[in-house]
Amino acid sequence: MTTTLRPEGPELSAAGGGRARRYGIRVNGRRIGGLSLLAGEAAGERVGRIEDLAVEAAERRRGRATVALLAAEEVLRAWGCRRAEARVPADAPGAHALAVALGYRERGRLMLKRLTAPPPAPPEGGEVRPMSEAEYGGWLAAELDGYRASLVEAGIAAAGAARHARESITRHLPEGLATEGAVLRVLRHEGSRVGTLWVSTVPGLARPGVDAFVFAVRVDAPHRGRGHGRTLMRVAEAECLAAGGGVLGLNVFAWNATALGLYESLGYTAAEYLCYKPLA
């Protein structure tokens, strides 16, 4: 039997050369599934996204999804994309195994925690307070540099990483400290500043169904390994609950084993894996 990928509906265009189209997966002309393709600029290069891949249950484990994904990559190449990305649900191990078999690598993951009880207060000697305007500029510069470095470590070219970091943070903090729902906190311990936290309490801002989202949690280098990251995450949970939310989310880079271990120990579980594959 022949598996093919056929367009369904017109191609849609967006500003900056963006493209999108829905495709059906067919076997000898019979539709057995579908997927969506999108293309646009990200971090200085053209990137394609594969979304909503679905194959009928009776047609699974027959190579249909494999053929469809390979055909989708050819479409993205024709659109000028140098990288393909896909969000793979954590509760779909078959899809994750397929992505790995086809050469996709995990860049990061979305982790969630459903909050059921108020977290404990900061340990003795700890103090949490709002970030001041005087502190904001230095924090922003350090956050931009740290995010850029993380993107480079995740495989993004340096120039594109710097631009993506700047655009992402600016988009989510358009009014600085006055941005709606932005919570920026400073953690002090025994009189010294030890870390900072940035969380948004705008429901659905980062991901649908997520009430609050941790954009950045950072412990200053001299104070790492002393439990301050755990304290900052407890503060984020308290802010989510105080805003009336019950689901807190965050993204973490796959290479950051220390952060992954911390979040897992606090009860966060993977919801999606962000996978990518070079197409050049």
Q: Which residues contact 268 (CB under 8 A, 6 or more apart)?
A: 111, 112, 113, 250
pTM of structure? 0.90
Q: Are residues 144 and 263 in the same domain?
A: yes
Count: domains in the chain: 2
Checking if the pLDDT of 153 tops 90, the result is no
Share of the chain above pLDDT 90, in %: 82
Q: Which residues contact 29 (CB under 8 A, 6 or more apart)?
A: none
50 in any annotated domain: yes
208 in any annotated domain: yes
Express each pLDDT in 2-16 by its tens digit: 899 999 999 999 877
Express each pLDDT in 204-227 by its tens digit: 987 889 999 999 999 998 999 999
Q: Are residues 72 and 166 in the same domain?
A: no
Highest mean pLDDT among 41-45, 198-202, 255-259: 198-202
Nearest to 18 by CA among 46, 51, 43, 60: 46
89 in any annotated domain: no
Q: Which tokens sit at 229?
A: 């990251």
Q: Are residues 121 and 18 in the same domain?
A: no
Phi and psi, residue 269, nearest 5°: -125, 150
Domain limits at 141? 114-275
Q: Are residues 44 and 141 in the same domain?
A: no
93 in any annotated domain: no
174 in any annotated domain: yes
92 in any annotated domain: no
Q: Are residues 160 and 202 in the same domain?
A: yes
97 in any annotated domain: no
Q: Are residues 138 and 241 in the same domain?
A: yes
Sign of the C-alpha dihedral, residues 194, 119, 169, 280?
Answer: positive
Q: Quick one: pLDDT at residue 45?
A: 85
DSSP character at residue 132 = P
Checking if the pLDDT of 155 tops 80, the result is no
Q: Are residues 159 and 263 in the same domain?
A: yes
Phi and psi, residue 115, nearest 5°: -85, 130
CA dist 105 and 84 (Å) reads 11
